Every structure is written in structure tokens, then in C-alpha cells.
Amino acid sequence: FETPARRRPRSNTKPKAERQREASLIVDSIIQTSESSEDEQDEETKAAQSWKKKKAAILKKLPPGVDEHAAKQILNEIVVQGDQVHWNDIAGLEIAKNALRETVVYPFLRPDLFMGLREPARGMLLFGPPGTGKTMLARAVATESKSTFFSISASSLTSKYLGESEKLVRALFALAKVLAPSIIFVDEIDSLLSQRSGSGEHEATRRIKTEFLIQWSDLQRAAAGREVLGEKEKERGDANRVLVLAATNLPWAIDEAARRRFVRRQYIPLPEAETRKVQLEGLLREQRHELGEDDIERLVGMTDGFSGSDITALAKDAAMGPLRSLGEALLHMTMDQIRPIELKDFEASLTTIRPSVSQAGLKEYEDWAKEFGERG
């Protein structure tokens, strides 16, 4: 199509590569929510190098019984490095944050204060509709408690890693102890601990589930045995600083025995008005926009029923608004020539971006939370 840019005389234009670079900078600065400075990049490179060395050292001295290939997979694919999430990145969810501070962060940072009656829980379940910040919370817990973060989706254990899953689960728990304090985050835990057990369940899936429960019990026993046995202090101390944090959008699918093992079950609900406001303001903070206090209030009203990820999707789509009418012309424009984001961009995006959880679906979570959970 014909755009003003195409009609511009060649002599006026910058080299194509430079124009493209500028355009991509503009687009990046509009869509990105955070950018890292050069200093931060230096830090990241250093951290990556030291992690590489640490991995090599661990692989040279693996605990007995741990499969080397599985260990490599865990260290390369399951341990999450860099790109940290902090409490402040997560809008709202104060009750959940406090519960996690008390259950994980403080005990990990000051294990001496959390013994006996104050013994920390070894498992915590985060449940609620999709896109409400469960994964973000788990990552923030790892950052704030200075822990190694192991992140695996249970469905990948029963699909991608099937066949080697039992070895992988053993290696996972062993390495979590080696790298303690550690958080083992298992997303979609329902697909591992579901009620399907018995005749209908796939034999391989059942074996992984059994292995997972054995390893988890061992962890609990090792930690609990700390005061009874007078030896192997190091090993028990490490077991005491490994926590299984699991997330699910289908809490009712988890079988009863497995459910009871999660001493704490935290409901992560859809964001309330105040939380939506904080999140929207956070997303707009780094952007050029013309939304006043009243506009934000209106947006908060229009996003009732939206999850955190729905709101992010909405803001990203609205941020594209000022570029959409420009077509290819945007490739030649400076940042200042692009108009700020306005309420009308959000209104336009709201016609296509809708809440992903229905009212009926929401009620199911509320009911389950009333019966089995703690409110967040």
C-alpha cells in the first residue's frame, strides 16, 4: 500500500538498516515494560558465567544414584537463571505474599528461628484462575529468599520427559538439596497428582507420580528428623530448605491424599479493583500516554473480571494503537512523532480482548477455596 514514507524522496532517507533499527527501538520502547541498563547486563553476564562454572562443578561431583543425563537436563532446562521477579513487580496479592514470606522466605533466610513448632511447611499449593500471578509469585519467592529456582510443568513430565521422568524426578530433588535453599516449582500439578489413579491411569504416569511422592516424603522425613537424629546435620539442614511450591488452575482434579500433603493451600483470585489499578499504572509507567486519573478509574471499571494476564494483554494491545494507523510510515518516524497512548486505544482493544475466566468458572474456584483453601 501507498504510504507517505514510500513517497519520500530517497535522498532524504537514512540507510535502511539504520531506519529498521530505529523502528525496532520505537516498537520495543512502546511494548516493553522494563529495560535493563548496561550495568545490569554486565551483572547478568557475570552471573551466567558463574552459573556455568557451578554447573560444571556439580556435574563432576553428583550425589550417588543421580543420573548424569537427567542432572544435565535439570541444570540446563529446569533451573531458572536471571530475569528475576521481585514482590513489587506483582500487583496486589498482599495476603498471598505475606503467607509466602512467613512460609518460605523468612524460614529460608533464618532457619535457626523456624524450628520445632515453627517448622516451615514443606509444600504449598497456589490455586486459582489462569493468569493471576501464581508463577510470578513463585519466582518472586525464589528471588526474595535467595533460592535456586527449579521450574517444571508437570505436564512436561508426563509428555516431553516421559520415559526418563523417574530419573528426572530423582535428580530434581537431589540437586535441589545440593543447591539449597531451593524452590521446586511445579506448574499444572493437577496433571501429575490427579484422581485418575487406578485402572484408567497410564502406567508410566502412575510411576512418575509415585516417584514424586516418594521423593517429596523423603524430603519431609529428612527435615523432620533433624532433631531426632544427631548426625548428618548438613544433609538435614539442606532438606529443610527445599520447598515444593505447586500451582494449578484445576485444584479439584488433585486427589485427596495429595491435596492433604499441601499443608497450605493459597487461593490466588482475580485482581480486585485496587489491584487492577496498580497493575495498569505499573504497565503505563514507562510509556508515553495521556490517561489521567479519571481515565484509569474508568479502565479499572471496564476490566472487572479480567485476570492479571488479561490486563497485560489488553495494555500491550492498546500500546499498539498509536502505531496501527501509521502502517509502514512508522519505520521513518522518531519517537516524538508517535502520539501517546490514549483511553480510546484501550476502548478499541477492549472489543477484542475479553476476560478469560467466565462467571461460572469463577464460582467453582470460590467454592473450592471456601472448602479447602486460604483466601488470598
From the list 223, 211, 93, 121, the residue with the least C-alpha distance to 161 is 211
Assess 135 for contact with ligand ADP (CB under 6 A). yes
Does 133 help bind ligand ADP (rule: CB under 6 A)?
Answer: yes
CB atoms < 10 A from the CB of 38, how many? 7
Q: What is the DSSP letter of 133?
A: S
In whole angstroms, the minimum distance from the beta carbon of 307 to ligand ADP comes to 6
- Exactly one of 71, 75, 92, 212 binds ligand ADP (CB under 6 A); that residue is 92
By CB under 6 A, name the one of 63, 130, 237, 327 that touches ligand ADP.
130
Scanning the structure block, which residue is given the C-alpha cell 501429575? 192
* Terminal-to-terminal C-alpha distance of the chain: 52
Grid cell listed for 93: 496479592
Query: Is the Cβ–Cβ distance between 272 and 92 less than 8 Å?
Result: yes
User: Per rule CB under 6 A, is residue 319 in the interface with ligand ADP?
Assistant: no
Do the bridges between strand 264-267 and strand 242-248 make them parallel or antiparallel, or are there none, so unpaired? Answer: unpaired
Let me know the angle formed at the C-alpha of 189 by 182 and 55, rounded to the nearest 5 degrees: 30
* Window contacting ligand ADP (CB under 6 A); options: 87-95, 218-226, 233-241, 368-376: 87-95
Q: Which residue is nearest to ligand ADP (CB)?
A: 308
H or E element at residue 148: strand 148-153
Smallest separation (angstroms) from ligand ADP to the CB of 57 = 32
Which segment (7-15, 140-148, 175-183, 307-315) binds ligand ADP by CB under 6 A?
307-315
Stretch that binds ligand ADP, among 21-29, 74-82, 129-137, 349-357 (CB under 6 A): 129-137
Give the nearest distance from C-beta 328 to ligand ADP in angstroms: 29
Reading the block at residue 45, the C-alpha cell is: 553476564
Applying CB under 6 A, does 376 fall inside the site for ligand ADP? no
Total residues in contact with ligand ADP, by rule CB under 6 A: 17
In contact, 215 and 207? CB cutoff 8 Å: no
Task: Tell me if 155 contacts ligand ADP by CB under 6 A.
Answer: no
The nearest distance, CB 34 to ligand ADP, in angstroms, is 11
Q: Could you tell me the smallest distance in angstroms from the CB atom of residue 274 to ligand ADP?
A: 12
Q: Which range, of 69-77, 147-155, 214-222, 306-314, touches ligand ADP by CB under 6 A?
A: 306-314
Q: Least separation, in Å, of the C-beta of 356 and ligand ADP?
A: 10
In the bound complex, what is the minimum distance in angstroms from residue 92's beta carbon to ligand ADP? Answer: 6
Nearer to ligand ADP, 58 or 189 (CB): 189
Question: Does 84 contact ligand ADP by CB under 6 A?
Answer: no
- Asked if residue 90 binds ligand ADP (CB under 6 A), the reply is yes
Is residue 309 at the binding interface for ligand ADP, with CB under 6 A as the rule?
A: yes
* Among the listed residues 107, 176, 91, 101, the one whose alpha carbon sits nearest the alpha carbon of residue 144: 101
* Integer angstrom CA distances of residue 49 from 59, 145, 279: 16, 22, 34
Helix (H) or strand (E) holding 127: strand 123-127
Give the whole-angstrom CA distance, residue 342 versus residue 279: 17
- Candidate list 107, 120, 123, 131; residue touching ligand ADP; CB under 6 A: 131
Residue whose C-alpha cell is 486505544 = 345
User: What is the full DSSP assignment across 281-313?
Assistant: HHHHTTS-B---HHHHHHHHHHTTT--HHHHHH
CB of 132 to ligand ADP, least distance (A): 4
Q: Which of residues 35-74 bind ligand ADP (CB under 6 A)?
A: none
Residues in region 211-270 near ligand ADP by CB under 6 A: 247
Decide if residue 308 touches ligand ADP (CB under 6 A).
yes
What separation in angstroms does the CA of 1 have from each of 17, 27, 75, 77, 321? Answer: 21, 21, 49, 44, 19
Give residues in contact with ligand ADP (CB under 6 A): 90-93, 130-136, 247, 271, 279, 308-309, 312
